[in-house]
Amino acid sequence: MSNEQFSLFDVASDDSPNLKPAKTKTRKPAEVIFDPATFDAALIPTTNKMPIPAGTYDSMDQIQVHCSECQRCGLGTTRTNAVVSRGNPNASILIIGEGPGENEDLQGKPFVGKSGQLLDKILQSVKLTEDDVFICNIVKCRPPENRKPSKDEMEACRPYLMEQIRLVNPKIIIMTGASAIEGLFQEKSVGITKIRGQWRDWEGRACMAIFHPSYLLRNQSRDQGSPKWLTWQDMQAVRQKYDELNAEEEF
């Protein structure tokens, strides 16, 4: 991996020749026509005791309808908007965050605040755009004061995440921060510094944990071995894996 990180976290203007997107193979989104009038709102799960079986949803729009009315945990009583996703629902890369912050809660989209702006720059540094990724969170509603989601909250929201992964069917999953790992792998007391940058398998998909962008905002050093430097190495590995999988598919 390159030790340089000249473009990471310091993206130049859009007309910079270094930032022209590489020609990568992106699956064309299938056209989904969703009519809320024909969707049975009575099926909205109002308690975490009501299961959400695999195959419940046909589209992200349907998940959005349910999440917007969901009361499977206490977060439903304090949210402004349910924050379900942004990006390409047919992308090869799925990114999982912890939970919405204040900006996300107000706008109804994940990673739109300062952390989201940094995430976009991180992706752009390895020539990936929103068309190449699908972005979601472990929990779809903002925990008060941006606290870490509780185990019960993550468990209540997990069926929505499982349905999102099923619908997107990504080849690569990037987990940003410890809570994303805990929520997907259902592991306790995860040490992000120990497991970041390592490829793991989850149901046949290549998964890697990286530092959460909010952590990088609090750690500005770019020296070798710093969180930003390590993230640059991790994202180069993601880009390499992405290219390898696309090449295998073409072959």
Q: Where are the domains of the chain?
A: 30-250
Q: Mean pLDDT lowest for which of 37-41, 155-159, 171-175, 190-194?
A: 37-41
Task: Give the model's pLDDT for residue 251.
Answer: 65
Rounded to whole angstroms, the Cα distance separating 251 from 20 reads 26
The arithmetic mean of pLDDT across residues 26-32, rounded, is: 43
CATH 1.10.3720.10 at 30-250, yes or no: no
Rounded to whole angstroms, the Cα distance separating 18 from 77 reads 46
Task: Give the model's pLDDT for residue 46.
Answer: 67
Phi, psi values for residue 207, rounded to 5°: -120, 140
pTM, to two decimals: 0.84
Rounded to whole angstroms, the Cα distance separating 84 from 101 reads 13
How would residue 12 be classed by pLDDT, with cut points 50, 70 and 90? very low
Bridge partners of 96, per DSSP, are 136, 175
